């Protein structure tokens, strides 16, 4: 389309022209005539309102700079589309806008998305994700591209970001169209932030002859990773590697429950992305298991560990399910013991399993106990920088129980029976702040009522949020999912815990038939949380430098 004549443009000038419905910046430099989209790819401001210096066009709104011959962004984030220009014999300027196909758009956008991901530019990731979704990209593929970049950069193996990514993708069907960008970008941001500017770590040569659980137990990182790669190269099925990694992750109460949680999330992610992608993920899961803290070797867990070591796990794993026996937790006796006994109720748990609860009945009870723990937690603890414990730690109780249920369903064995007993310990230990402060927990729940859950969550009205959740129907889970993705937290680790807790609560509510897990998630989302990572670390550092003593309540 003719947009003017060459004589209408002095060298160093710009004008906006319309080509069809497209607004085009027509620019003449000493090098020739160029045409770019007039809308800056950052926020859409008109480029012709900017400034031109030779071949460099600056959008004055945020000082992004573009090379006019090809639209490359030299300072800023994304490139601006460039269009073909032809000069006629009489000096007329014709601009041809060729709209790329969806496939071409995707190929152009992938490099930009990865650049934004590597620099943890959330705005760029959000815009490129929205553009990719508009161009028909698979949301799982978008997240996977980020995981491929970030996984080798995690110094101690995959972490919260990967786990949140798995949950975001499993919650994805509750969004449609371009709106799916919200859970997708939450997943990307969770993986990008902790790996920004980190180097990638190399993988060893595959070696299927290495025994994987033994290598992990010995903290033989190269051997464990080589075993995973070798088995995958030899065609090992998902069930085989899942069993081996579960056996390894269940040997210990690993990283306050994260070992089992990360194993669950990695395999859930591969269910969506495809088993053929396992070599890009499982070695880094293995690294997390190798480097995880063996909590059961620490003094604070000594009594519980001794009790667990005396249990016949083979017999425990063989106990029938409560669905066969009809077992119920009479007068909530086991639940109360898990919550309030002076020591972890390992023996009571074992007796209940043998009496007809089975492992699944035990996990039901643990879920209800840790949900109650979240419902009676005093948020004031979060605002005390002298206490190295808070909301985020307590959420592990519920996500750990859900991971143990997943492990038991996929690999019922003595190892996963041990894992169930570890969840009993953790449910007890999440009450440490209550015991340390001498709190009298409030156990009375509000009366169920109707109301607008989204409004209660937004206002931070914990009581109303819990009451509405206890009363509501299926729409409650939808509201909780939306709220978890729109969470007001600024720290990535907090968002990760919100998302993981919400999905675990939904799954556990379905498994137990109780609304308590949903109510616990609602309260956590609504309650005040102090994102105190700098303040807490400074307070701990000063105290340690002065006294040489570990933090109070430290593991």
CB count, 10 Å around CB of 64?
A: 23
Question: pTM for this one?
Answer: 0.91
Count the neighbouring beta carbons within 10 Å of the beta carbon of residue 476.
21
Q: Residues 37, 43, 44, CA angle at the centre, nearest 5°?
A: 35
Task: Give me the residues paired with residue 92 across strands.
Answer: 5
pLDDT score at 327: 96
Q: Which residues of 411-427 are buried (b: 16+ CB within 10 A; e: fewer)?
A: bbbbbbbbbbbbbbbbb
Cβ(398)–Cβ(374) under 8 Å? yes
Q: How many angstroms separate the CA atoms of 503 and 480, rounded?
A: 9
Q: Give residue 207's pLDDT.
A: 98
Helix, strand and coil in the chain, % to nearest 5 = 60, 10, 30
Q: What is the pLDDT along the chain (555 residues), one digit of tens a residue?
A: 899 999 999 999 999 999 988 999 999 999 999 999 999 999 999 999 999 999 999 999 999 999 999 999 999 999 999 999 999 988 999 999 988 999 999 999 999 999 999 999 999 999 999 999 999 999 999 999 999 999 999 999 999 999 999 999 999 999 999 999 999 999 999 999 999 999 999 999 999 999 999 999 999 999 999 999 999 999 999 999 999 999 999 999 999 999 999 999 999 999 999 999 999 999 999 999 999 999 999 999 999 999 999 999 999 999 999 999 999 999 899 999 999 999 999 999 999 999 999 999 999 999 999 999 999 888 887 777 677 788 889 999 999 999 999 999 999 999 999 999 999 999 999 998 777 666 666 667 889 999 999 999 999 999 999 999 999 877 899 999 999 998 666 678 888 999 999 999 999 999 999 999 999 999 999 988 766 566 666 766 777 778 887 766 544
Q: What is the widest separation between alpha-carbon atoms in the chain?
A: 96
161 closest CA partner among 173, 172, 148, 176 = 148
Question: Where does 172-301 have alpha helices with state H?
Answer: 181-192, 212-217, 221-233, 238-249, 258-273, 282-291
Work out the number of other CB atoms within 10 angstroms of the CB of residue 395.
26
| CA-wise closest residue to 320 among 285, 348, 287, 357 | 357
pLDDT of residue 555: 43
Map residue 82 onto helix, strand or coil: strand
CA atoms within 13 A on the CB side of 516: 22
**Strand stretches in 82-191, DSSP E:** 82-87, 92-96
* Whole-number pLDDT of residue 24: 96
Give me the pLDDT at residue 534, please: 67
Give the angle subtended at the CA of 195 by the CAs of 65 and 229, to the nearest 5°: 125
pLDDT recorded at residue 532: 56
């Amino acid at each position: 389309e003719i947009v003017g004549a060459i004589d209408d443009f002095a060298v160093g000038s710009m004008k906006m022209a319309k080509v069809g419905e497209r607004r085009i910046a027509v620019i003449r430099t000493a090098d020739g005539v160029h045409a770019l989209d007039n809308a800056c790819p950052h926020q859409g401001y008109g480029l012709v309102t900017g400034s031109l210096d030779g071949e460099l066009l600056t959008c004055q709104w945020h000082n992004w700079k573009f090379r006019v011959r090809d639209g490359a962004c030299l300072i800023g984030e994304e490139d601006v589309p460039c269009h073909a220009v032809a000069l006629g014999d009489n000096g007329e300027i014709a601009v041809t806008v060729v709209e790329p196909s969806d496939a071409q758009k995707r190929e152009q956008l992938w490099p930009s998305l990865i650049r934004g991901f590597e620099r943890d530019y959330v705005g760029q990731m959000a815009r490129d994700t929205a553009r990719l979704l508009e161009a028909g990209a698979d949301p799982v593929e978008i997240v996977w591209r980020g995981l491929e970049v970030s996984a080798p950069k995690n110094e101690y193996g995959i972490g919260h970001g990967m786990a949140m990514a798995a949950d975001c993708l499993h919650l994805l069907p509750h969004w449609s169209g371009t709106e799916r960008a919200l859970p997708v970008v939450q997943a990307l941001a969770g993986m990008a932030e902790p790996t920004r500017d980190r180097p990638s770590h190399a993988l060893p040569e595959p070696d299927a002859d290495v025994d994987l659980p033994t290598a992990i137990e010995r903290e033989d990182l190269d051997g464990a990773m080589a075993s995973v790669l070798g088995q995958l190269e030899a065609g090992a099925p998902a069930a085989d590697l899942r069993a081996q990694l579960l056996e390894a992750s269940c040997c210990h109460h690993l990283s306050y429950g994260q070992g089992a949680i990360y194993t669950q999330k990695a395999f859930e992610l591969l269910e969506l992305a495809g088993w053929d992608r396992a070599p890009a993920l499982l070695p880094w899961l293995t690294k997390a298991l190798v480097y995880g803290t063996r909590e059961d070797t620490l003094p604070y867990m000594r009594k519980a560990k001794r009790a667990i070591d005396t249990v016949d796990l083979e017999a425990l794993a063989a106990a029938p399910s409560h669905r066969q026996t009809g077992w119920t937790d009479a007068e909530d006796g086991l639940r109360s013991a898990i919550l309030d006994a002076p020591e972890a109720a390992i023996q009571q748990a074992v007796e209940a399993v043998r009496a007809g609860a089975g492992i699944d009945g035990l996990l039901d009870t643990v879920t209800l106990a840790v949900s109650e723990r979240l419902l009676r937690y005093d948020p004031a603890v979060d605002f005390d920088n002298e206490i190295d414990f808070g909301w985020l730690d307590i959420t592990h109780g519920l996500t750990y129980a859900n991971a143990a249920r997943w492990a038991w369903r996929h690999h019922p064995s003595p190892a996963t029976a041990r894992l169930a007993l570890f969840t009993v310990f953790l449910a007890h230990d999440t009450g440490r702040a209550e015991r340390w402060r001498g709190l009298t927990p409030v156990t009375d729940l509000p009366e169920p009522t109707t109301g607008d859950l989204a409004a209660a969550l937004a206002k931070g009205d914990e009581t109303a949020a819990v009451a509405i959740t206890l009363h509501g129907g299926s729409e409650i889970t939808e509201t909780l999912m939306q709220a978890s993705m729109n969470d007001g937290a600024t720290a990535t680790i907090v968002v990760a815990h919100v998302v993981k807790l919400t999905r675990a609560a939904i799954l556990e509510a379905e498994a137990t038939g109780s609304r308590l897990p949903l109510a616990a998630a609602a309260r956590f989302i609504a309650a005040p949380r102090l994102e105190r990572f700098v303040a807490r670390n400074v307070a701990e550092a000063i105290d340690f430098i002065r006294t040489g003593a570990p933090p109070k309540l430290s593991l």
